[in-house]
C-alpha cells in the first residue's frame, strides 16, 4: 500500500503505527483495518518522508517523480466532488437559516456541506454582517442548513461523542487516549469507554470544534493507532446536539 503508515507486531498482534513523515501520516484513513488485514499489508514508504520518496522516484526515472501532490480523493479522479456525489445521491435543495430562524438563502443539498465549513456557501450582501459565514448545523427532517457568521460559535462545540462500528486492535481497555476526528487534525485528549460490542463513548471535556456524525474517529496511544469507529452522535453537557 502506498500509504504513509507503518506496521508493528506487539505480543503477536499486528498494529498500525504513524508514518515517519508526520505531515503525510495516513493512519487516520486506515484506522479500521483489523489485525488480520494488517498481517497481509505492506507499507513500503511508511518509514520515509515525502522528499526521500521523490528522490527514489527520480533516481528510478519514474514519470510521477515530480507530479504535484494529490489533495483529492484518489478513486474519483479529477472530477468535482459535488458532481461525483450527485451521480449517486439525489440532491434536495432546502433553506439556509441562522439558528434564530432567519432565512439567509437556499442550499444545494445537505450532503454538499460539513460542520464548520466556510467555503462554498455563496452568502453575501447581508446587512451589518462583515466577514465569512460557517456551517454550524444540519437538520435532515426539514432539509435545513444552519449557518452563522462566527467560526467559533458555541453550536460548533461538543464534549462527548458515541462512535459505532468500532474496530480496535489488541486489548484496549477503558481509559485515557488521544483521538483525531478528521484528517490532519491535531491529537485531542479523550477518555474511551465501551458501551457495548463495537460501540464506544468518547469524552473530551475540554470541548472540540466540529465533531461531525458520519466522520471517522481514530484512536491513538502515542505512535500507535489502536483503531477507530464512525461518529454516530455528539453531545454537549449530556444533551444531544440537535443539528450536528
CATH number of the domain to which 220 belongs: 2.40.30.10
Averaged pLDDT for residues 204-216: 95
Whether residue 229 is found in the same domain as residue 170: yes
Residue 41 domain-assigned? yes
Hey, which residues does 15 pair with through a beta bridge?
8
Residue 84 domain-assigned? no
Averaged pLDDT for residues 162-178: 97
Domain coverage including residue 21: 5-75
Whether residue 143 is found in the same domain as residue 102: yes
Whether residue 100 is found in the same domain as residue 50: no
Whether residue 163 is found in the same domain as residue 233: yes
Mean pLDDT (the chain, rounded): 90
pLDDT band at 216 (very low <50, low <70, confident <90, very high): very high
User: Alpha helices of the chain — where are they, by DSSP H?
Assistant: 27-30, 35-39, 50-59, 81-86
Whether residue 130 is found in the same domain as residue 173: no
Whether residue 185 is found in the same domain as residue 223: yes
pLDDT of residue 122: 87
Rounded CA-CA distance 51/57 in Å is: 10
Residue 85 domain-assigned? no
Whether residue 167 is found in the same domain as residue 229: yes
Averaged pLDDT for residues 94-110: 93
- Which of the listed residues 26, 41, 75 is the one where a domain comes to its end? 75
Cα-flanking dihedrals φ and ψ of residue 135, to 5°?
-75, 125
Of 10-19, 53-62, 165-174, 211-220, minimum mean pLDDT range: 53-62
Rounded CA-CA distance 78/242 in Å is: 35
Cell 519514474 identifies what position?
62
pLDDT band at 158 (very low <50, low <70, confident <90, very high): very high
pLDDT in tens, 47-78: 998 889 899 989 988 887 877 776 556 655 55
Averaged pLDDT for residues 138-144: 93
Whether residue 141 is found in the same domain as residue 194: no
Long-range contacts of 98-104 (CB under 8 A, 24+ apart): 98/146, 98/147, 98/148, 99/136, 99/137, 99/146, 99/148, 99/155, 99/243, 104/133, 104/147
Residue 35 domain-assigned? yes
Residues contacting 43, CB < 8 A, separation 6+: 1, 3, 4, 5, 6, 7, 19
- Which of the listed residues 47, 75, 103 is the one where a domain comes to its end? 75
Averaged pLDDT for residues 4-10: 95
pLDDT in tens, 219-233: 999 999 999 999 999
- Which of the listed residues 44, 75, 106 is the one where a domain comes to its end? 75
Structural domain count, the chain: 3
Of 102-111, 155-164, 173-182, minimum mean pLDDT range: 102-111
Whether residue 227 is found in the same domain as residue 166: yes
Whether residue 203 is found in the same domain as residue 129: no
Residue 83 domain-assigned? no
pLDDT of residue 67: 78
pLDDT at residue 35 is higher than 90? yes
Rounded CA-CA distance 13/106 in Å is: 51
Amino acid at each position: 500500500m502506498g500509504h504513509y503508515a507503518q506496521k508493528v507486531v506487539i505480543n503477536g498482534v499486528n498494529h498500525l503505527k504513524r508514518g515517519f513523515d508526520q505531515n503525510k501520516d495516513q493512519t487516520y484513513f486506515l484506522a479500521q483495518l483489523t489485525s488480520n488485514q494488517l498481517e497481509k499489508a505492506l507499507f513500503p514508504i511508511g518509514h520515509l518522508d515525502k522528499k526521500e520518496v521523490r528522490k527514489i522516484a527520480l533516481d528510478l526515472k519514474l514519470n510521477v517523480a515530480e507530479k504535484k501532490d494529490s489533495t483529492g480523493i484518489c478513486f474519483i479522479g479529477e472530477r468535482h466532488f459535488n458532481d461525483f456525489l450527485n451521480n449517486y445521491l439525489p440532491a434536495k435543495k432546502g433553506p439556509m437559516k441562522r439558528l434564530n430562524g432567519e432565512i439567509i438563502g437556499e442550499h444545494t443539498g445537505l450532503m454538499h456541506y460539513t460542520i464548520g465549513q466556510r467555503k462554498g456557501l455563496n452568502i453575501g450582501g447581508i446587512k451589518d454582517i462583515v466577514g465569512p459565514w460557517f456551517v454550524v448545523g444540519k437538520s435532515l427532517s426539514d432539509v435545513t442548513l444552519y449557518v452563522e457568521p462566527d467560526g467559533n460559535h458555541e453550536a460548533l462545540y461538543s464534549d462527548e461523542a458515541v462512535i459505532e462500528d468500532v474496530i480496535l486492535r489488541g486489548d484496549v481497555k477503558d481509559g485515557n487516549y488521544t483521538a483525531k476526528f478528521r484528517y490532519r487534525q491535531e491529537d485531542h485528549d479523550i477518555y474511551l469507554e465501551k458501551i457495548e460490542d463495537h460501540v464506544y463513548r468518547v469524552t473530551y471535556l475540554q470541548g472540540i470544534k466540529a465533531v461531525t456524525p458520519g466522520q471517522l474517529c481514530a484512536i491513538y496511544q502515542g505512535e500507535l493507532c489502536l483503531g477507530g469507529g464512525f461518529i454516530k452522535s455528539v453531545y454537549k453537557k449530556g444533551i444531544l446536539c440537535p443539528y450536528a
